Every structure is written in C-alpha cells, then in structure tokens.
C-alpha cells in the first residue's frame, strides 16, 4: 500500500479517511457502520483512557458496569430522551437461531421472540437511573459518583471512521446529588476536566460554553460543551457534560430523605467523551505526510532506525541503541528500535512519519565514529545532529517542547479563525471563504437558529462561558441581543 496521502488542500475529507486507514488506526468492518479499531489506534485510545480515568478518580469517581440492553419500556420513560434517540436504536427482538426447515441455512428462530424488545444502549441514563432507585434512600447514600467505560450503539446512516460510527467506545459518567447546586457544580467540574485533558494531553485548544436549547442533550436542562476547531475550519464537539435536573429521578422515581427528613427527588448529571476524540486528534495536528501525535499520547515517543551494511555494523549500532533505550525508559519515555531487515531505512522513515512518532533517531557507522546521532522532529520535519551523551536530555526537553508547540500552533490557528461579524452577508462570506468560528449576535430563538442552519449549515456551537455582555442586534433577525454566540459548520 502506498504511503502517499491525498493532500489536505485537495480533499480534506479524503485525506482524513486515507490517513486513518494507512496509519493503522482503524478501518470499516463488514458490519454496516461499525469500525475495527486496529492495535496502533487502540494504543492511542488506551493512553487517552488511562489519563481520563486517572482524572475521574482524582475527582472522586468510581467505575462500575451496567447492562448493554435496555428494556424498551425503560427507554420510553423520559419523554424528551426517547424522542432524541428513538430513530437510531438497534433493537433485539429474538434470542435464538435455528436451522431453516427448507435447508437453506441458519435463520432466526421465530419461536424465540422476546416478550419485551431490548434496545442496545445508545446511552445509559435510563438503565442506570432504574438502578439508582435501589441504591438511594437517604442523603447519606449521596452523592453517587459513577463512571462506566463501555460501547454504545447509535444507528447512524452516514458514518465516518471515529467521527460517526454505529458502534463507538466511550465513557459515561452518571452522578446523583442531593442538591441542584451540587449537581451543577459537578457538571461544570467535568467540563473543566475535559478541557484540561484536551489541552494538556491532546494539545487541542477548546472553547468552553453551553449549548442552546436546540442543541442540548435529550433530557438535559443544560449541556456544557468543549468545542475544538479542525484544520479545515469545521468545529468538532469534543466532550459534553449535562445537568439533567430531576428529569430522570422523576421518570424512575428516585427519591431520598433529606437531612431535614423530607422526601425529595435526586438531582442528576451525565457526561461523556468517546472515540470521536481520536478523529479530533488526527484532524488537529496531522499533515500531508501523515499523523502528528502529541508526545503525551504517542504510543511510541521515540523510534530508533539503524542504518547499516552487514551484520557487524548492525551489532555495533544495536549495542548503542540498547543503551539509549535503557536510559530513555528509565525516564519513562517509550522507545522502539526498528531493526527489521525486511525494510530499508527510507521506508521506515516514511512509515514513522505516517504514524506520527514525535522523534526519530537515525544511527549509522559514521555516527558511531563521531559519537553522534541524527534526531528528527516529526512536527517540524527538521533534523539535527546530536551528541550521544546529550541525547537523553535533548529528547526529554524536546518532547515537552513539541507538546507545547503543537498546542500553540493549534491555538494560533484557532484564534485566527474566530471572526466577529455583524451582518448576515458577512456571516455567509466568512463562513464560505474562511470557515472557523463566527462570533455573532443571536436573538435567542430556536426559529432564528434553525433558519440560519437551513441557509448556511452553520449551527450554534456554544454560548461561550467567557462571552461578555454587549449590546447588539441579531445578525439574522435584527432583534436585540446581549451576547455573542459562536456559530460554525461542524462535524
């Protein structure tokens, strides 16, 4: 398979799809809309999981596991929730196969019909709140701070690797609280955890804000979001945290006796990020040569490629490489020595560029003589000669520098792509010519929001939390507005 990718400037969408496949991140399976996450892609996801899991535990959460199936009757209990998900539910109706009587093969056994159909969870609020009813009697049982790592299924018609798949992996936190205030604080805290993760690990700047009513999670009173900007000027919702009020507690009759002895409904939040973040990571940093991975999430941070003729040279280089690997590993740096004799150095260079390994060391006989190595940075595609005795400290500081530099570069791009507009003409021309976020006044109605969406495909990504009060008029309706919101076309 050729390592050459379509250029981003030619066809960004095609570039993305080729890159995900050629860099061995994922591929579509034989099952409609479901992907296979390949080992290299999964290794990145594991690093994401591990950091997020640590952050969840540091903020007092525990993991648990709830059933993948939800009885249809549970699912229907919260009215706006079922409205939001009903059209994309996979439904289990039977539980057995049998041999066809006409000998044509294996068929579904129609006699083994379920009494009640089961929904494959698209999200778990309903089954979890049905469980919490049994866990909560008194204020002493609160808060419940639980997260689960799980697969979920949403029957999407148009799918794209990582960004929109019928099955995806995610975590979903579901918390229960005695007071409204505590639940809101939790939802806001988790938005901050997500923003922290996106910026410090993914090197991806995000804007924190709240969703409009139209864009809220089905069943939420408030949805907190982090929004990122991809290199093609489209926004990507990278994580959401929902204040659910007492909606699910009422639907599932979850009450507690307060300190004051009163019977009250419990307050809820839920929050999640998914394998969609893999798509965001790819589209934030990568280039026409392949992936660019931030060191904090790269499964391999440093690769060593030997350049040699004959067994003797290889052995000499291997000894030095092993020594370097040991020193790097002591520092907690992950390193791979690619001494395969089935591929040439040039092929390997292209391979690790494609896979986004942050630093590449090349070592040949000349380097052995001079006590040097060639060190190449993936993000800048620059090379330098480094003395072997300075290599480990150079690598340590470079990994930190690369992480910061990727963030800065993405932030510069993002900041340059937030454009204030005050007329709808301007709105449309910026959207088409430049893309990115458009900061504009909006009259606060769903009607205007929907009309703008129909005309331009741009949606309100969020009402930024740092949006300042400002007199203005709606860019579309001309009605008064007191705050700018961010519009964009989005993934």
How is 413-448 classified by DSSP, letter by letter?
A: HHHHTEEE--SHHHHHHHHHHT-SEEEEE--S-HHH
Among positions 125, 167, 186, 379, the unique one binding its own copies when judged by CB under 8 A:
167
Should residue 78 be labelled a site residue for its own copies when binding is judged by CB under 8 A?
A: no
DSSP 8-state symbol, 35: E
Toward its own copies, which CB reaches closer, 248 or 476?
248
Least Å distance between CB 62 and its own copies?
A: 4
Should residue 465 be labelled a site residue for its own copies when binding is judged by CB under 8 A?
A: no
> Phi, psi at residue 40, to the nearest 5°?
-70, -40
Helix axes 39-58, 180-200, angle to 10 degrees: 140
Helix (H, G, I), strand (E, B) or coil at 146: strand
Toward its own copies, which CB reaches closer, 120 or 207?
120
Should residue 75 be labelled a site residue for its own copies when binding is judged by CB under 8 A?
A: yes
Least Å distance between CB 82 and its own copies?
A: 6
**Window of 5-13, 150-158, 300-308, 317-325 that interacts with its own copies by CB under 8 A:** 150-158
- Per the DSSP assignment, residues forming a β-bridge with 364 are none
Cα–Cα distances (Å) from 250 to 149, 246, 331, in that order, read: 26, 6, 52
Toward its own copies, which CB reaches closer, 127 or 292?
127
Should residue 92 be labelled a site residue for its own copies when binding is judged by CB under 8 A?
A: yes
**Window of 27-35, 261-269, 418-426, 436-444 that interacts with its own copies by CB under 8 A:** 27-35
CA–CA separation, 437 and 284 (whole Å): 15
**Window of 70-78, 186-194, 431-439, 481-489 that interacts with its own copies by CB under 8 A:** 70-78
CA–CA separation, 243 and 187 (whole Å): 6
CA–CA separation, 482 and 469 (whole Å): 6
Q: Which of residues 469-488 bind its own copies (CB under 8 A)?
A: none
Should residue 229 be labelled a site residue for its own copies when binding is judged by CB under 8 A?
A: no
Least Å distance between CB 191 and its own copies?
A: 23
- Per the DSSP assignment, residues forming a β-bridge with 26 are 37
332 is written with which tokens? 């907690």
Closest-CA residue to 172 (of 52, 89, 81): 52
Should residue 457 be labelled a site residue for its own copies when binding is judged by CB under 8 A?
A: no
Toward its own copies, which CB reaches closer, 120 or 452?
120
CA–CA separation, 294 and 400 (whole Å): 9
Should residue 91 be labelled a site residue for its own copies when binding is judged by CB under 8 A?
A: yes
Q: Which of residues 328-387 bind its own copies (CB under 8 A)?
A: 342
Size of the site for its own copies (CB under 8 A): 63
Q: Which residues have CB under 8 Å from 138's CB, separation 6+?
A: 256, 257
**Window of 81-89, 224-232, 331-339, 434-442 that interacts with its own copies by CB under 8 A:** 81-89
Among positions 6, 12, 18, 34, the unique one binding its own copies when judged by CB under 8 A:
34
Should residue 72 be labelled a site residue for its own copies when binding is judged by CB under 8 A?
A: yes
Least Å distance between CB 158 and its own copies?
A: 14
406 close to 292: Cβ distance less than 8 angstroms: yes
How is 188-222 classified by DSSP, letter by letter?
A: HHHHHHHHHHHHHTS----EEEE--TTTS-TT-SE
Closest-CA residue to 175 (of 238, 124, 227, 137): 124
Among positions 7, 14, 54, 96, the unique one binding its own copies when judged by CB under 8 A:
96
Toward its own copies, which CB reaches closer, 71 or 472?
71
Q: Which residues have CB under 8 Å from 94's CB, separation 6+?
A: 108, 109, 110, 112, 113, 114
Least Å distance between CB 443 and its own copies?
A: 32
Which chain residues interact with its own copies by CB under 8 A? 27, 29-31, 34-39, 42-43, 45-46, 62-72, 74-76, 82, 86-98, 105-108, 117-120, 127, 130-131, 134, 140, 146, 150-151, 153, 155, 167, 169, 342
């Amino acid at each position: 398979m050729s390592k050459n990718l379509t250029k981003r400037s030619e066809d960004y969408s095609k570039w993305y799809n080729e890159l995900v496949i050629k860099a061995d991140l994922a591929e579509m399976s034989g099952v409609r809309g479901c992907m296979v996450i390949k080992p290299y892609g999964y290794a990145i996801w594991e690093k994401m999981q591990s950091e997020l899991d640590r952050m969840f535990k540091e903020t007092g959460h525990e993991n648990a596991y709830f059933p993948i199936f939800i009885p249809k009757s549970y699912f229907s209990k919260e009215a706006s929730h079922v409205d939001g998900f009903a059209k994309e539910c996979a439904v289990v109706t039977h539980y057995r196969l049998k041999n066809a009587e006409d000998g044509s093969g294996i068929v579904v056994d129609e006699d083994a019909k379920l009494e009640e159909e089961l929904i494959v969870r698209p999200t778990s609020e309903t089954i979890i709140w049905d469980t919490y009813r049994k866990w909560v009697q008194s204020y002493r049982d609160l808060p419940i701070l639980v997260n689960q790592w799980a697969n979920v299924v949403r029957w999407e018609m148009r799918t794209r690797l990582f960004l929109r798949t019928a099955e995806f992996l995610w975590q979903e936190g579901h918390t229960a609280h005695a007071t409204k205030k505590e639940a809101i604080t939790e939802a806001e805290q988790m938005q901050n955890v997500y923003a922290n993760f996106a910026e410090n690990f993914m090197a991806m700047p995000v804007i924190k804000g709240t969703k409009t009513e139209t864009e809220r999670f089905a069943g939420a009173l408030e949805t907190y979001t982090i929004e990122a900007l991809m290199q093609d000027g489209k926004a990507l919702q990278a994580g959401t945290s929902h204040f659910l009020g007492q909606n699910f507690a009422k639907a599932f009759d979850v009450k507690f006796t307060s300190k004051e002895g009163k019977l009250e409904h419990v307050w809820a939040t839920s929050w999640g990020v998914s394998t969609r973040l893999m798509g965001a990571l790819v589209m934030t940093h990568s280039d026409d040569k392949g992936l660019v991975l931030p060191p904090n999430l790269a499964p391999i941070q440093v690769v060593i490629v030997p350049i040699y003729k004959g067994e003797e040279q290889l052995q000499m280089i291997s000894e030095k490489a092993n020594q370097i690997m040991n020193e790097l590993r002591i520092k907690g740096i992950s390193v791979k020595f690619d001494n395969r004799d089935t591929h040439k150095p040039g092929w390997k260079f292209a391979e690790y560029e494609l896979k986004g390994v942050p630093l590449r060391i090349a070592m040949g006989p000349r380097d052995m003589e001079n006590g040097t190595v060639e060190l190449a940075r993936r993000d800048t595609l620059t090379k330098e000669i480094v003395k072997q005795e300075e290599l480990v400290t150079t690598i340590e500081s470079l990994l930190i520098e690369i992480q910061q530099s990727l963030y800065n570069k993405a932030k510069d791009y993002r900041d340059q792509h937030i454009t204030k507009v005050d007329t709808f003409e301007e709105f449309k021309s910026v959207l088409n010519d430049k893309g990115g976020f458009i900061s504009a006044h909006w009259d606060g109605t769903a009607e205007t929001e929907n009309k703008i969406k129909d005309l331009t495909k741009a949606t309100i990504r969020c009402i930024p939390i740092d949006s300042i009060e400002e007199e203005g008029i709606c860019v579309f309706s001309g009605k008064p507005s007191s705050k700018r919101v961010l519009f964009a076309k989005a993934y």
